[in-house]
Structure formats: C-alpha cells, structure tokens
Structure 1
Amino acid sequence: MSRTASNNDADGNVVQGSNYRFTLITDRLIRLEYASSGVFEDRSTQLVANRSFEPVDYEVERNRNGHEIEIETKFFHLYYDGGRFASSNLHIDAKYQYTLHDSIWYFGEHVSGNLGGTNATLDLVDGSTPIEDGIMSRDGYAFLDDSDSFAIEDNHFVHRNPEEADGYFFAYGRNYRRELSDYYRLSGKTPIIPRYALGNWWSRYYRYTQQEYLDLMGRFDKENVPISVTMIDMDWHRTDDVPARFGSTWTGYSWNSKLFPDHRDFLKELKRQHRHVSLNTHPAGGIRAFEDSYPAVARDLGLDVEKEEPAIFDMDDPSFRKAYFDDVHHPMEKEGVDFWWLDWQQGSSRSKDKVEPLWNLNHYHFLDNQKEHDGEGIILSRFAGPGSHRYPVGFSGDTVITWASLNFQPYFTVTATNIGYTWWSHDIGGHIWGSFDPALSLRWLQLGVFSPINRLHSSDNPFSGKEPWKYRLDVHECMNAYLRLRNRLVPYLDSANVETHDKDRALIEPMYYRYQDNEESYLFRNQYFFGSELMVAPITTPQVPQLNVGFVDAWLPEGKWMDIFTDLVYQGDHEGVTRPMASSTNLDGQFKTGETQIRLGRSLENMPVFAKLGAIVPLATDPMQRADELPTELDIQVYGNEDNEYVMYEHMNRSIAKTTIRVRDGAVSAALEDEDGIVPEERRLHFKLHGFTIGDRNEFTLGDGQKFEGKPNEDGRQAERARGQLLGLLQGAELPYEEKREVLKKVDDDLTTPVNLVTYAQTITNPDLRSMVIEYASLIM
C-alpha cells in the first residue's frame, strides 16, 4: 500500500471528504466524523480537551476493492464505503487475536468484551447494577461516542457544529495503561486534589446543632481519631421556618440560626482545628426572596424585589452564574467554607439546546473553586459522563446498607478507572435502610481506608450513625485503628495523587492493568492495586458464624507477597511451582501447577492487603498528623528483602517535593529534591523493616542524603507467624475444644511437611476450617 494525497486530504493526520473526516490521533486511536453539512467540530468538547498529538505513521488507499477509503496503521485497518456512517459501510479491523473470530468492529456495534466504566450514581441500588462502558476491552478495541456533547470556548459550553457522528475508536489491545494515558491526553488530565481530602471525612444527614457538631469533633479528638474533612448535610440551611409560598426548602443558602446561632464562629473553630468544611447544596430551586443573599442577587439580576421575583436556576445564563458565585457562594467561602457538595437530583436537561445541569455545576464549581484556592480545586458531585474526571471528587449516591452493596462497591470503584474516573467517594458504611451489623460496618470501613476517598456517612436515623463508639468495644477499637491508619497513609496517597496527574497512573488499578494476559486478573474483580506498592483483596461477605472468620477468594500473581498486617509471605503464581489451592471453586486441596487462587481467612480486625516483596510504603509517624501539613516524621515501611526504588511525591498548593528512597543490597538511602522548601527542615525518616533485618536491626532513622548499610538477613519467623495466625483464628472459633486441639496438634506434628497437612485437610468436613488449614500449609511450604 502507499499513502495517496488528494485535494481533499488535510495536512497531517487527517483524511477528509465532503461529508466525512477521519483524524488519526495515534496509531491506535482514530476520530470518526460525519456531517451532512460538511462542517466539522474543531473546538474542545465536554469529552475532548486536546487532539494535537504527534504525527502518525499510516497509509491511505482510495477506491480499492469497492471501498471508498481504507486507512491502515500498525494496529488497525479502517474500511469506509461512503455515505452516512452505518454498520453496512464502515468497519474497522483491529489487529489483535483476542477473540475466537475476527476482531472486526462495525460502526454502531456494542463491544461485548468491554470491561466497564462507571455510572452516574448508586442511589438506592441494593447490590449490583449494570455498569456503563469504558474504553478498555478484552477484545482489544472500544468506541466512545462524542456526538451529543457541547463544545467549549473560553471555558464555557457552547452549541457545537451539528454532526451526525463524532466518536473515537480505541485499538490498544490490552495495553490498558497506555490507553488510559492517551485518553487523559485526549480528554484532559485529572487534577491534583487537595492533600487534606486524602484523610478521613465525616458526613451525615442529620440535624446537628452548632454545639453538637463541635462536641462530636471533640469526641473524635478524645478518641485520637483524626477527621480532616467535615461535611454538613442540608440542614445547615433553613428548612423549617420558610413561608409556604416559597415552596420546597430542599434548596437553601441561608444558615439555620436555630441550629447554628453563630455560624461564623462555628466555621472559625473548625478552621482552628485544621478541619476543612463542605456544605451540601441542592441548587435546583435557585435563589428566592427569603435568602440572606437575595438583595444582592436581585440587584445584580434586576429582579422585582417587591414581587419577590426568584432568581431561576440557570447555569447556562452568564448573569445568573455571576450572581450565583459572587453573591451567594463566595461570601460563605470567605467565612470558611472550603468546597461544596453538589447534590443534584433533578434529572437531565430535557433538550439538546441546554447543557445537562450536572455538567454545568461540576464544570463551573470546580473551576471557581480552583481559582479561589490557588489552582487546587475540589467539589463533591455525581459523575456526569466521560470527561468528568476533570472535576474531582465523585459522590456515588445514597447506598443501601447491605452486604450485597458492600460486595459490589470494590468492583464498581475499580472499573471506573477504565473511563479515567479515579476519585470516587462512596457512602462508607452505607446510607439508608439495612440493619445494625457491626461486622458489615467494620468491613466497609476497612474498604474505605483502602479507597480513593474515605467518607463515613449515614442517614438521620438515630441508630445508623457511623461513630465508632456506637459499636461494641472490639469493633470500636478496630474502627479507631483503621481511621488512624487512613490518616497515616496520606503521604502514600498524596504521592499517588501527584502521579495520577503527572504520570496518568491511577491510585486504583484493576488487576488486569498489570497482568493483562492472566485469566485470573479478570475473574477476581473485587481485587485491585492501591498505589504502586499495595494490592488489596477486601472481605465483603459476612463472617462465617461458627468460626467468626471472614473469607475472600484471592489470586496472587507471580512473585512473593507479604500481608502487611501479619508479615506473612505468600508465594504467588509461578509456572512450575506447585502449591496448595483453596478457592470457592476448588476446595479439594489438590496440588496444581502454575495457579495461586487461595481462600484467605481473617478475623474481624484483619483484612488481606499485600505488598510485593521489596515494597516501600511511607506512613505519617503521628496518627493525628494534620492532613493539610507535611509531616516532620515519616515511618518508611519496607516489606521484605528485595531491591526496590520508590519515589514519594508531596505537594502543597502548586509546589511538589520529591524523595527518592532506595533499598539495594542492604544499602538504604533517601534523597530529597525540594526547590520550594515545602518539606520541614527537621524531616526524619524512620525505617521499619518487615520480614528481614539489615545487620541486626529492623529499625533505623535517616535524614536527607543519609545512607544506612549492612548485610540483609531474613528473620526466619515465617512458620512462627503462620502458626500464630492459625492459633488466633482457632481461638475465636466456636468449635468443640477437642476438635480445635486436634487441628493444632496435627499442624504442630506436620510443621515441616505441608503435603501431609493438605492430605489431613481432606478429612475435615467443615469446608471453612479446611480452608484455614490449607492456607496455613501454603505459608510454610
């Protein structure tokens, strides 16, 4: 083939006719447009922020074999026969062999292998729900439609040039990371969110008084539980003394003085405590005459005050937007409101003539917040469609309090990365209905700690609050411990926060992003990577009553993986390595080759979080460290004796510091790059070694540029730790004492012969107890 030129070919990566235009973005990504008017859209849209990539190597053929146009790159071959795009005249052959038949996409066809994206909301969803498509597909190709979106000029939505078709065909095979990176380049980067947002959030639909709320925060402090974001649901504004002629009080912008007699002092006190404040708003009702801000709004919009003419909610109207921000929101922000919870529930625009209101709210509120906070913006709002990742953070709606809802939430969060939406905030613990279940609440909180945003939430039911002290003592203490852990994780989370923006590496990654050709990475859909160093397999099903143990089926990829809570090391999938199995589909305990599906049992206070040997995870030393400040002291956790290099990014406003931590051949070093001087001068790094020592030490401290050297040694305590874990699980099991003693005796007798233990496990009739013994055997192999 040869590339041919004609008068209809534009310069660069464009192949164009009178009514069609094909733009090659990369050799794996092509834009398809058809306009009967012959006028195409070159401006940014709600989905697309940039189409100017590098030149693409491709070939074009015209009028060959009955096709008007053929376009071919290394990764796809497009065939077009002319006319309005349809499955009969436009198809693309993706050059991959992931399907049984040909990898051909016909225009308008749904790609069956799509791995899912995300949804606008989980409101009232109890359990699972179908998920809309993303751009990742096991078939190697996907299509994203952009024909209905508005254009953007000068950061404002405008009507686009009418086109019958405008969409993007992705042919990235299973190179998911590269696909996500090019998607961000096409649709816009994910902003760096404020550091404080990575700590714990408190949120509840409840009629707090000013003093009750401050007392609540005082109780958290007394419990040594850090809360960095305080959200106040709709009752912060007047709801019960508004004249009936104004209609619903769902929308409101005036502080409820009965509940908050001095809201300025209230906000000032929360600021003094280094807490950041968000207020819930339902803006559909506009600004009406009973609002404190109405006189200013009426003046600026020329409203008839005597007739109490309302300012109708219309974010398309520049005059309304100006009054909305300048007269209503900015004054409250100056008093201490950091950002807004945009609780839009009024549905979609009824016409293509107006932008979907949720899009408008997300777009303008985020840009306004970003401008008011030195380029670092944040909102809390629902997903409005592809491109919404530019306006973090997402609010997934009113979740039903059931195990089914919890079990769906990891998968829902993971697949959102497939459409670039990486900052989901769920109602951790659930919002409505359900029943009191301490195990469910704790397991949900554990998931929240290892989620993008950890926002505890509940309804106004007096019994459904998520305060840890509302639960029995063991659950109470565990909840406190996990909330402290979340706060200590902020340095690790902020590093991923910066990398999401700078390097297009999401905090939450599906297993198949790293192991795209392993079938297991698609089957274990609740399992995910959490930053560069950790892998999480959350427990999302009830405790087994007789054993008081929660179980999860997990897949351990190649290599060795350390459980960060127990320091136990598990052998991952490796061809030729024979190991015991224990999964929901394979409980026979037989040895198999090259497989590592394993059923993991954990007591209520524990959950499976793994670090591949050598992983480096920075934690704040002080569990009460303020999330909006860089810590003076950090605990650098090193999990296992393998060489590694980890770069920790820290940010304050627009400044970013970089600390490179290396562990190589027993030498540990740390080097800081901090042009703007945001890191405390007295910064100290306390290294904590897990599962090994250097010399005779597993703890030591370094400053900038310092180095520690020694000879690494395994600590040799794997069998002891494994026995301790099994012993602890047996201790809590409600089984006959003699049955438990028999199991422990057999374990101790066969300490060095795990094959015998697996054989013995076949005689155990209780399948969950059998799984516990098999897991133990896998640890001492």
Structure 2
Amino acid sequence: MPIVNYHAARDGLVLETTEGRMRLTPYSDSVIRVQYTLEADFSTAESLMIVRNPEYGAVFTIKDSGNELSFCTSYVTIRIDKRTCSFAYYDSKGKLLTKEPSRGGKTLVPIDVYKSLFDDDSRLETGQGADGLRVRAKKIQRTIDRKAYRTKLAFEWANGEALYGLGSHEEGMFNLRGQHQYLYQQNMKAVVPVLMSTRGYGILVDSYSLMKFRDDAFGSYLGTDVDDEMDYYFIYGPEPDEIVRGIRFITGKAPMLPKWAYGYVQSKERYESQHELIETVREYRSRQLPLDGIVLDWQSWTGELWGQKTLDPERFPDPKKMMEELHRLNVRLMVSIWPIMNTNSDNHKEMAAQGFMLGNQATYDAFREQARELYWKQAYEGLFSNGVDAWWCDCTEPFEADWKGAVKPEPEDRMRINTEESKLYLDPEWINAYSLLHSRGIYEGQRRTTDRKRVVNLTRSAYGGQHRYGTITWSGDISATWDTLRKQIPDGLNFCAAGSPYWTTDIGAFFVQNKPELWFWDGDYDAGVDDLGYRELYVRWFQYGAFLPMFRSHGTDTPREVWRFGEPGEPFYDALAAFLRLRYRLLPYIYSLAYRIYRDDYTLTRALPFDFRHDSRTYDIQDQFMFGPALLVNPVTRPMYYDVGSTPLEGILKTREVYLPEGCKWFDFWSQRVYDGGQTVEAEAPLERIPLYVRSGSILPMGDDIQYADDQTQADLFIRIYGGQSGSFDYYEDEGDNYGYEDGRFAVTSMSWDEERRIFIMAERKGSYPGMQSQRDIQVLLLDPEDSLNDHPTPVTRQVSYTGSLIELTF
C-alpha cells in the first residue's frame, strides 16, 4: 500500500495510504504508539491496558528522502518505505532492531462481529466439575452487532534473535522463536500481550481479543481476532530492564505488596473450619517453622451457595475472633472469592436485582463499574470487615469450557472451545479483559476503604496492566509430574519478561493423583505424601518456589504441611525446613528488591538474558534464572532418589549441569568456592540443596532466623560482600503493610563495595518511618575470590553498629 500523503500533527505523524491511515505517536523517546485503521478516523475508545499520563510525548523529527520517510526520536528511528508502507526500526546509532516484510507488515481484514441475544427461550444448564460451578446458556440467538477487523502484524526476525513473553502458558516454551502460541484465557493460561527481544526492543499489542503468535512455516506475526483498528507500541530498551520500564511507563507501576506476602503462605484444597485453620498455624509456631499466611480455599460459604462472600457460620462461627487469633499468631488470611455465584445466594440476588449479571445469569459483569463496586461491597461486608487480609480471585477466566472428558483436546480445538464459550457472554473484542477488570474492582474498592492494608490479590488469569492492581498470578491447576515442574520454570520467566513482576506456582502441583476419566487430573502419585517419589518431587518444587515472588504451597489429593513429609531429623522434612528458613533469611534482600519493582520497574524473577543479553549461550537456557541481581538459581527437575511408588533409584548422579554466564565470577552459595563465568559446571545437587551461585560484586543483605516477616526478635543484619568487582545495593525498610511508602514513609540505605580500594560503605540513611529502628547490629562478611579458591575459605568479618550515619569499612 503506497503512501499518498503524510503530515506532522501536534503529537505525531499521520500517513495517508491507498489502504487506510496510520498514525505514529511518541509516548516517550523510547516508546512509540502505532495505529492503523481503514476508517475515516482513529478510534477514541479508552484503553483498559494503557494508563493516562501527562508525561506522554517526546520531541520528534520527520525526514523525507524520496522513497523513504524517517520518523525519529532521540532513541528510535522508524524508516517507512513510501512504496509499501513497510516499517524498519533502528536505534539512534543506525543499528537495525527489527523490520516488517518488504511488501508491508500490517493487514486489516473486515469481519462481522456477533453478539448474543438472551430471551425467554434461552435455557440455562448448570453443572459442577473439578473446576467449580459452571452455568451455560442454551438456545441463544446470535445477531450481527457491527463491523470490525482481524489484524496481522508481521515481522522478519533476525537470525539468532530470541523472543520472550506473552504470559504464562502450560507448554513450557521459553525462547519463542520457531513456536506458535494462542493467547486466550484458560485455567493454565495467563495472557500478557507483550514480546521482548534480545535485540533490544519490545512489542505491546493493545488488544483484548483472541490473539495468535506465530514464527513458523505459516508466518512470523502477531494477530488479533477482533479489533476496531490495529494498535500497538514499539518499546526500545535496549536492555530488558529498560524495556520493562517502558512497558510499565504506559501500563502503570506495580504497587508494593505487604512484607508478609514475601514470606511463606500455606495452602491446600482445603481447610474446612475455623478450628483447622488455627490449629495448623499453631502447629507451625510450635515447630518453629516460619509462616506468614494461610489460605481459605473455595467452599468456605454455606452449603451450595457457590460464590457467596460470607463464611459458613457452622464451620466458622466467629470470623472476627478467628482473625484476631490468627493476627495474634502473626499470620494473615487469604480467602478465595469467585465471580460465579449460585442463584440462591444473597450476593447473586443483590447483583441480579440491579441487572449486573452476564448472560448465563451466574457471572457478574466486571465490565460495568457499578457491578465492580457492588462486588467489592459484598466482599467488604462479608469478609474484609472481619479482618481478612488478602484475596484469592479464583476462576478469573469464568467461561473456560474444556475441563471435561478423558482426552485432552488438541490446541486448536481447545482454543475454539474456550473462546467460543467466552464469546457467548462477552463482546468478542474484549474476551481477554475479564481478569483485568475484576482485579481493578478489588484494588479500587480496597484502596477506597483503607490505606492501612496493602492489596494482595492472587489471580489465575492476567492481562497487560493488571499488575498495577496488586495482583500475583499463579499458573493454574497443574499436575504433579517432573515434566510439569520443568515446564513451570520457563512459563514463569516468560510471564515476568512480559513486564508483570508477580508470578507463582502451586508448590507440589494442584493435582497429585491420576483420574483417567479426566484428562487434566493426571498426577503421577496416587499415594500422595506416602509415596517417597512424591516427597522428592515436592522438596524440589519447594526449593524452586523459595525463589519466586510468592512462596506458596497448594493443591488437592494430599496434605501439604511440612510435617506431612516426615519429622525433624528425616531428610525430606529437614530439606523443607532448611529452605523455608533460607527464604526468611533472604527477606531483607527480597523486600529491598520489592521496592525496586515499585521505584525502578524492576523484575525480580529474571530470565538469564535480562542480565546477560550479550551472552547468546543464555538465550535457550530455560531451567536457570536470576533471583534479583545476585542469585543464580538452578532448580533440580529430575528424580535422583525415588521413582513413582517409592521405588529407589540406583546409580543416579546427584548433580546437574549449570551454565555460569560470562562477564563475572561465580561463588557457590553453599561452599563459597569460586568459578569463572562462561563455562558449564557439573554442580552438586543432593536432596538438601539445589545449585545456587552468587555473582561477583554482589552485596547480599540477610537476616537472622525469624518466624514471620515482621519478627523483630532477631533483628541483626548480615551483609555478605562477594568480591571480585565493585557493586552496590539499596537496602530498603518501611512499616510493612500500608501505603505510607507512597508518601515517603520509608528509609533507604545505599551500600557499596569498592573492589580496588577494598572499602565497604554504608551511606547515611535517607528517610524514616514510624517504628523505625534507630540502631542495628550488623555483621559484614567479605568473600574474596582469591581466598575462595581454597578448600576451606574463611570470610573476613567486621562487626558494626549502624545508627544511620556514614560507615566506611576497610578490608
């Protein structure tokens, strides 16, 4: 499509072509919005994903060189072929980042958009399966609602280029080159429509319909099913952290979670009574096993009143007293709430009376602001007013329809089954947005109610921008197999690479047993915790989970508490207890990085190219990741001790291969031995630990053994310096669970290590907050690469008392 005219508008460049109009709008020097329409005007519909920001805009220039236009900011140049309207994207130095096919990369195909008509002839079919209540409307009339477009945005990706993102999907894909993926909401799919490239850019598509990604024999493109126009953002980095910063610049910051949310959260399907909840917490405390949260899963309501946001008075006779006791034990409660409601429940009747139900008359309409406000009112009156601390918004893809039968449908069939079901009740242009708006209602409702308790919302689905509503997404109802554990690692890394920082998994998997009549209930361990093979899998999953943003066990078929896996002195119990305590010792490091997520748009769980983009050997390593700037985590994903049925394994090496990226030295966290980067090592991996390495130049603040996140009984700080190169770290503190940090109620202490001068500096503490400790005893340990070559390296230790003033320690 040739360009026939162009003009510079106040905020960008408008192209007139023989097949529609395009507009390029710089939101910053590194973020460019591109729209393409066949209509007379560009769409003015408000985005659900992109936030309004008065800072949007940048200086740009336009150069016409005959057959080519160049749209330039200080960081990005988009060269446009005037004969075909093909785009090529360059950095400011003239390096090609990516390009469209020479004949042009943007396609709009007109389509009819249908909507459902629900009348007296419509019939409701109610059922309940493994995934809860489902209500489906039958005999629905369909009619054409409007015209829209199917879009395709094609690229010619470079040889050796790696792509990540698109959210969390169950297949375990990592580098998306040569793959294809369908983007729709389903139990084990959490969509974020963002790609990140190792060549230094990202693509965010502002669409909420079914999407497709392909990079195979059928083409290399991102396509959407139903849209008014094509609308996407090109985001230049070039480093992954800068790409994520660009994503959150337009989709919003991720607020801080409360400090307790970074501790351990115990869950299972399910605790059935007030007594059981409290006794479980007391058992953790009596065993001196750290704990910060416990979860009340589904069916906490009365009888068959599915989705009612009140507790069954027979099993939970005094919710306020229950919450007071849990809080006295320094534990918070998360409660599962659903968007689907039984027609006999008071919550449903109140929603239906105001016309706030979707066409199946069971799911509330989260697209309506008044319905979201009523949903929060119900959650407040039934739960939050009693002291409940956090939400588990389960089933936030309420129209999933393929969880039945013995045979798993093929990917294309699953896509069709689920999206066609969603389209019965939701506008086809918006079927991916339900979780985003449902989360918005919870966040805005709680923020209006109080600023003393930070929003925590565990959701099963996601979308771009949802992170700004205090959500953590988990990977759905997965099954207990070693293959599933292997796939969880790249699934989580791709979710975080798409710009959303908080992701987790059910430690030990949701389904443990095997039920052949249901394709999804396909765990390997019918004996549950009595199978030593499952105990080994659970320990390895727990070790992996200790290095995720939320550290949470959950599942059905078998108990999940630590003591179900043995007793003190037995290998499985001791391994679990050791990593539970390690997580708590790392909280000073983790919580400081949580602040960086908010302040700097940081990413905590990091695919290796985040930190080692120029080491191409990291591009396809999907079972290792960085946890913050210091720790290289290498989960064990194969059995070494027991097979299914407690069958001992013989002759299995207790090691795994670990690639140590180039550009630094690496310290073994356990032995303190040092290794050069750029090599693969065979790392020791006995049951009691996984290979864990620390990058040279790291400053790693750690705490003492504590029982919950705010425990001040052991308030000493242990700072480990891993020498070999200079480094820095900002240590962060605040009140732990309110929004005072937004008003400056926090303290930051900048720490730095000067390798050449051998000086460790703790700068003057900046800021303060109510309850801040004015003085803290600190032990500083220097691990030197030269000393670590010895068989028994001995750290150099200094003891200091820090009062907030400058400290310089020479080693």
Matched residue, 2:137: none
- Match in the other structure for 1:490: 587
| Distance of 2:656 and 2:725 partners within structure 1 | 29
Report the AA paired with residue 480 of structure 2.
I
Q: Which of 311, 314, 319 matches 1:258?
A: 314
Task: Give the match for residue 269 of structure 1.
Answer: 325
Matches within 5 A, 1:71-220: 71-72=71-72, 75-79=76-80, 81=82, 89-94=85-90, 96=95, 106-107=105-106, 108-109=153-154, 113=161, 115-119=163-167, 122=170, 134-138=194-198, 140-148=200-208, 163-170=228-235, 172=237, 174-220=238-284
Q: Quick check: 701-710 or 496-505, which moved more?
A: 701-710
Give SS of 2:380's match.
helix
The question of 1:419 aligning with 2:498 is answered yes
2:291/2:708 contact within 8 Å kept: no
Amino acid at match of 1:117: G
Q: CA deviation at 1:333?
A: 0.5
Q: Distance in 2 between matches of 1:403 and 1:42?
A: 48
2: distance between equivalents of 1:555 and 1:103? 40
Q: Which residues in structure 2 correspond to 1:518-557 (within 5 Å)? A: 518-543=615-640, 545-547=650-652, 549-557=654-662
TM-fit CA distance, 1:448:
0.7
Kindly report which structure 2 residues correspond to 1:437-476, keeping only aligned pairs within 5 A, or say none. Answer: 437-459=534-556, 461=557, 463-471=558-566, 473-476=570-573
Gap change, CA 1:187 and 1:111, over 3 Å in 2: farther
1:236 to 296, 300, 324: 300
> What pairs up with 1:203-602 in 2 under 5 angstroms?
203-239=267-303, 242=304, 249-285=305-341, 288-291=343-346, 297=350, 301=354, 313-344=364-395, 345-347=397-399, 348=422, 350-352=426-428, 356-374=433-451, 376-391=454-469, 392-432=471-511, 433-435=523-525, 436=531, 437-459=534-556, 461=557, 463-471=558-566, 473-543=570-640, 545-547=650-652, 549-573=654-678, 596-602=679-685
Deviations 1:243-279 (A, max 9, x none): xxxxxx4423231233223332212211111211111
- Alpha-carbon contact 1:488-1:623 (below 8 Å) kept: yes
Q: More displaced, 229-238 or 675-684?
A: 675-684
Indicate which of 650, 657, 679 corresponds to 2:772: 679
Query: Shift in Å at residue 30 of structure 1?
Result: 2.4
Contact 1:127 1:407 in 2 (8 A): no
State the Cα deviation string for residues 541-571 of structure 1 (Å, max 9, x = none): 2227425614133233222111112211112
Shift of 1:632: 3.3
CA contact (8 A) 1:548 1:604 kept: no
Larger radius of gyration: 1
Aligned pairs (5 A) from 1:606-617: 606-617=689-700
Paired letter, 1:71:
F
8 A Cα contact 1:616 1:646, kept in partner: yes
Q: Which amino acid in the other structure matches residue 197 of structure 2?
A: S
Displacement of 1:103: 9.7
Aligned to 1:117, what secondary structure does the other structure show?
strand
Partner of 1:660: 750
Distance 1:312 1:146 in 2: 25
Within 1, Cα distance between the matches of 2:575 and 2:767?
A: 37
Say whether the 8 Å CA contact 1:381–1:395 is kept in structure 2.
Answer: yes
The answer on whether the counterparts of 1:688 and 1:699 sit within 8 Å (CA) in structure 2 is yes
Is the 1:277–1:337 Cα contact (8 Å) retained in structure 2?
yes
Distance 1:325 1:269 in 2: 25
* Cα offset, 1:370, TM superposition: 3.2
Bigger share in helix? 1
Q: 3-state DSSP class of the match of 2:573?
A: helix
SS in 2 for 1:480: helix
Matched residue type, 2:61: Y
- Could you tell me how far 1:500 is from its partner in structure 2? 1.1
| Distance in 2 (alpha carbons) for counterparts of 1:474 and 1:696 | 29
What secondary structure is seen at the aligned counterpart in 2 of 1:416? Answer: helix
In structure 2, the CA distance between the partners of 1:277 and 1:611, relative to structure 1 (3 Å rule), is same
Aligned pair in 2 of structure 1 residues 183, 139: CA closer, same or farther (>3 Å)?
A: same
Write the letter of the residue equivalent to 1:421: S
Aligned counterparts of 1:710 and 1:374: Cα–Cα separation in 2: 40
Shift of 1:458: 1.6
Structure 2: which amino acid aligns with 1:701? V
C-alpha separation in 1, matches of 2:629 and 2:686? 27
3-state DSSP of counterpart to 1:166? strand
Residue correspondences, number: 646
Q: Tell me the CA shift for residue 637 of structure 1.
A: 2.3
Q: CA RMSD in A?
A: 3.7
The aligned amino acid for 2:285 is D
The answer to whether residue 134 in structure 2 is matched with residue 58 in structure 1 is: no
Structure 2 CA distance, aligned partners of 1:31 and 1:516? 25
| Amino acid paired to 1:15 | V
Confirm or deny: 8 A CA contact 2:479 2:510 kept in the other structure. Answer: yes
Do residues 13 (structure 1) and 91 (structure 2) align?
A: no
Q: Counterpart in 1 of 2:709?
A: 626
Q: Which residue of 1 aligns with 2:729?
A: 646
Q: Which residue of 2 aligns with 1:748?
A: none
Distance change >3 Å, CA 42–CA 477, structure 1 → 2? same
| Cα distance in 1, alignment partners of residues 62 and 266 from structure 2 | 56
Q: TM-score, normalised on structure 2?
A: 0.72
Report the identity percentage.
21
Indicate how the Cα distance of structure 1 residues 522 and 262 shifts in structure 2: closer, same or farther if over 3 A, else same. Answer: same
* Structure (1 or 2) with the greater strand fraction: 2
Tell me the equivalent position of 1:765: none
Cα deviation digits, residues 464-497 of structure 1 (max 9, x gap): 5243442361110110111111122222111111
1:33 alignment counterpart: 35
- What corresponds to 1:637 in structure 2? 720
* Displacement of 1:280: 0.7
Amino acid at match of 2:59: V
- Secondary structure, in 3 states, of the residue corresponding to 1:15? strand
SS in 2 for 1:235: coil
Tell me, in whole angstroms, the C-alpha distance in 2 between the residues paired with 1:260 and 1:80: 68
CA spacing shift, 1:327–1:350, aligned 2, 3 Å: closer
Give secondary structure in 2 for the equivalent of 1:254.
coil
1:112-162 Cα offsets, whole Å, 9 max, x none, are: 55522143664xx79999666633124555543224579xxxxxxxxxx98
2:98, 2:156 within 8 Å by CA — same for their partners in 1?
Answer: no
Q: State how far apart, in whole Å, the 2-side matches of 1:271 and 1:452 are.
A: 23
Question: Is the 1:223–1:480 contact (alpha carbons within 8 Å) kept by the matching residues of 2?
Answer: no
Partner of 1:211, secondary structure, is helix
How far did residue 81 of structure 1 move?
5.0
| Distance in 2 separating the partners of 1:417 and 1:684 | 36
Q: Is the 8 A contact 1:342 1:381 kept in 2?
A: yes
Distance 1:44 1:632 in 2: 48
SS at match of 1:440: helix
| In structure 1, C-alpha distance between the alignment counterparts of 2:781 and 2:808, rounded to whole Å | 14
Query: What is the rounded CA distance, in whole Å, between the counterparts of 1:103 and 1:558 in structure 2?
Result: 38
Contact 1:468-1:477 within 8 A present in 2 as well: no
Kindly provide the amino acid, as one letter, of the partner of residue 635 in structure 1: F
